[in-house]
Amino acid sequence: MARKTAILISGRGSNMAALLDAAKAPGYPAEIVLVASNRPGAAGLGIAAGHGISTRAIDHTAYETREDFETALTAELEKAGAELVCLAGFMRLLTDGFVKHWRDKLINIHPSLLPAFKGMDTHARALAAGVKITGCSVHFVREEMDSGPIIAQAAVPVLAGDDEAALAARVLDAEHALYPMALALVASGRARVVGEKVMVEENSPPDYRPLISPPSAG
C-alpha cells in the first residue's frame, strides 16, 4: 500500500509539482494526501489543487511562537494521515521538537552535494569555490540545518561561463528527477536509516563508473 505523504511549501513548489507528477504513476509507493504552506498566497497551493490534492494554508504570522505554528501544522499533517513529510521549498526553520516528532519521516532536498555548501547561496558559493561538479541531495532532516542521513544525490557539471542562474537551472532539473526517486526509495522501504546512514536495497548492480568533469579528451 502506498504510504501517505504530505508536502510542505512556501512558494511556487516546482519540486512539489515533480512529486505530484511522479505519484500519478501506477505502482508509485507514495500517495500525496496534502500540500500545506505557511504562506496563504503560495502559488504551489493552486497547482496542487489543480491536481486534485487537498491543500492547507497555515499562516505562520498568525501564531505567537514557532512552537504554536508547528503544533497547528502537525495537527493538519496528522489529520491527513501523513506518514512521510517532504519539504519542497519550505522556508521556515523547524524547531528541534518538530524534527524529533517526525524523525526519519521528514525529508528535504538541498541544492548541493552535501555536506558541501550547506545553507543559502549554494550556487554562488560553488562558483566562487571553482568546483567542477555540484548537484543536489535528498536527506532525512535532523536538528542541524542541512544535515541528516543522505538518501540520494545527483551530480551536475559546472560549465565554463556558468553564472548563478544558469547553474541553478541545471541543478533544479536534477532536483526534479532526484526527489521523486528518493521519495520512492523511502516510501517503498528500500531506503532505511541504520546508524545515521541510509542503507539502500539495490534492485540491480549499481554503475560504479566515475563521473569526471571536465571530460577526458580520449
Q: What are the tens digits of pLDDT across the range 159-169?
A: 999 999 999 99
pTM equals: 0.94
Give a yes or no: residue 214 inside a domain. Answer: no
Q: What is the domain range of residue 159?
A: 109-199
pLDDT at position 218 is 54
Say which of 110, 123, 139, 176 is annotated catalytic. 110
pLDDT at position 214 is 81
Do residue 30 and residue 76 come from a single domain?
Answer: yes
Q: Is 176 a catalytic residue?
A: no
Give a yes or no: residue 65 inside a domain. Answer: yes
Give a yes or no: residue 161 inside a domain. Answer: yes
Question: How many domains, in total, are found in the chain?
Answer: 2
pLDDT digits (tens, 9 = 90+) for 76-108: 999 999 999 999 999 999 999 999 999 999 999
Distant-in-sequence contacts of 159-166, Cβ < 8 A, 24+ apart: 162/127, 163/127, 164/123, 164/124, 164/127
Listed residues 52, 85, 102: the one ending a domain:
102
19: helix, coil or strand?
helix
Of residues 134 and 201, more confidently modeled? 134
